[in-house]
Amino acid sequence: MAATTNNENVLEVKDLHTHFYVEDGEVRAVDGLTYSIRRGESLALVGESACGKSVSALSIMRLIPYPPGIIVSGEILFQGQDLLKVSESEMRHIRGNRIGMIFQEPMTSLNPVLTIERQLSESLELHRKLNKKDAKEESIKLLRLVGLPDAEKRVSDYPYQFSGGMQQRIMIAMALICNPDLLIADEPTTSVDVTVQAQLLELLDNLRSQFGTAILIITHNLGVVARYADRVNVMYAGRLVESAPTDVLYSKPQHPYTMGLLASVPRLDLPRNRKLSVIDGLPPNLARLPKGCNFCTRCTYSIDRCLEEKPPLEKVGEEHYSACFRSGELGK
């Protein structure tokens, strides 16, 4: 089984489809996703809201609510093992021990009526089989590691007594309990200020180099990607439109959506009179996707073929993939 996979990769996602069946019809939140993450790598997943980023992450964790959601097909190979084939109890073990996840709103995952110590210790006793006393000591150690000031004292506080940034640090501590091989961070800094964002991302980056944890960071912020990711996947309406090493993506984007996004964001370092290019229109309804390319309705380069066929993700350079019939001619 493991022989068929590249063991440089912690995770390989192959042709993943996750749909929701709602009043509106079949919502193709994730519509054929293929990518991998290497050991110790930080991979960014960028895209605008509702393009399927969280659903793709929750699919890895097998946390898609059923009904209305279901993973229709695909493979999710975590260190060679297909997570879509393991039992629920095995999956629980993997979630607690080998894959950690942090969310945008830390309060949705912290228990408001338990002290931080209780929450960390419970997890340590369960997953690492520590006794009460050792668990408390380890909790404090973890909180120090994530930069919580006054850890010995504050470990007995409740979640609401912390600021949003500190709650997110506590979440990171919880996710690190078992020294996971993969940490999924779903918009971890979207609801905090830039100064706190910088603190948290710096922390994640240090932990990655210290422990070799691979990080899948989901964000819509192109600056965050530029600063912290080794490689980037750009997602649009349930699919990847472009994938490249970070420097390559920003210097030689090949997909019209990526090009449009990069040209549309105001930048601190560029002259104020720089003209921003506007991507007109809206992303398509995921229950009524067009026959052709999902981006064709907003694309200024679309040709007849784009309306008829979905362009596959194809190699356009070293480790660089783009899903556009015109990538070769445009991205020069």
Partner 1 sequence: MASNDHIIEVENLKMYFPVTAGVMQRRVADVKAVDGVSFYIKKGQTLGLVGESGCGKTTCGRAILQLYKPTSGNVQFEGRELTKLSNKELRNTRRNMQLIFQDPYASLDPRMTAGDIVGEPLIVHNMVKKGNEYKDQVNEVLRMVDLEPRMAERYPHEFSGGQRQRIGIARALAVRPSFIVCDEPVSALDVSIQTQVIMLLMRLRDELNLTYLFIAHDLSVVRYISDQVAVMYLGKIMEITSSDELYDHPLHPYTQALLSAVPIPDPVVDRQRKRILLSGDVPSPVNPPLGCNFNPRCQMAIDICREQEPELRDIGGEHFVSCHRI
Ligand X SMILES: Nc1ncnc2c1ncn2[C@@H]1O[C@H](COP(=O)(O)OP(=O)(O)O)[C@@H](O)[C@H]1O
* 53 belongs to the binding site for ligand X (CB under 6 A): yes
The answer to whether residue 153 forms part of the interface with partner 1 (CB under 8 A) is no
Using the rule CB under 6 A, is 20 a contact of ligand X? yes
Q: Is residue 65 near ligand X by the rule CB under 6 A?
A: yes
* Distance (Å, whole) CA 244 – CA 234: 9
Closest to partner 1 by CB, 111 or 206 = 206
Evaluated on CA atoms 28, 100, 214, 83, the torsion sign reads: negative
Say whether residue 51 binds ligand X (CB under 6 A): yes
Choose from partner 1, Mg ion, ligand X, none: what does 86 bind? Cβ within 5-8 Å by kind.
Answer: none
Judged by beta carbon distances under 5 to 8 A according to partner kind, the member of partner 1, ligand X, Mg ion, none in contact with residue 279 is partner 1
For ligand X, the binding residue among 13, 27, 293, 299 (CB under 6 A) is 27
For residue 88, give both structure tokens.
Answer: 């629920």
DSSP 99: E
Residue 226 touches which member of partner 1, ligand X, Mg ion, none, C-beta under 5-8 Å by kind: partner 1
Among the listed residues 52, 74, 165, 292, the single contact to partner 1 using CB under 8 A: 165
Peptide bond into 284 cis (omega under 30): no
- Which among 51-59, 60-68, 88-96, 301-309 is the span making contact with Mg ion, rule CB under 5 A? 51-59
Kindly determine how many residues on this chain lie close enough to bind ligand X according to the rule CB under 6 A. 16
Short-list 293, 320, 300, 310, CA closest to 234: 320
Contact between 285 and partner 1 per CB under 8 A: no
Provide the angle, in degrees to the nearest 10, between the axes of the packed helices 164-176 and 132-145. Answer: 120
Residue 278 partner contact from ligand X, Mg ion, partner 1, none using kind-dependent CB cut-offs of 5 to 8 Å = partner 1
> Residue 302 CB: number of other CB atoms within 10 A?
18
Q: Is 139:121 a contact under the CB 8 Å cutoff? A: yes
Establish if 78 lies at the interface with ligand X (CB under 6 A): no
Give CA torsion, residues 68, 73, 74, 78, to 10 deg.
50
Cα 122 vs. chain centroid, distance in angstroms? 27
291 and 311 Cβ atoms separated by less than 8 Å: no
User: Which residue among 18, 34, 42, 54 contacts Mg ion (CB under 5 A)?
Assistant: 54
Compute, in degrees rounded to 10, the torsion defined by CA atoms 94, 31, 230, 181: 0
Q: Which positions from 256 to 295 touch ligand X by CB under 6 A, shown as an x/- string?
A: ------------------------------x---------
Kindly state whether residue 47 participates in binding ligand X, applying the rule CB under 6 A: yes
Determine the Cα–Cα distance for residues 129 and 123; give it in Å rounded to an integer: 9
Rg of the chain in Å (alpha carbons): 21
Contacts with Mg ion, residue ranges (CB under 5 A) = 53-54
Contacts with partner 1, residue ranges (CB under 8 A) = 48-49, 149, 163, 165-166, 193-199, 202, 220-228, 246-247, 250-251, 260-262, 264-269, 272, 276-280, 282
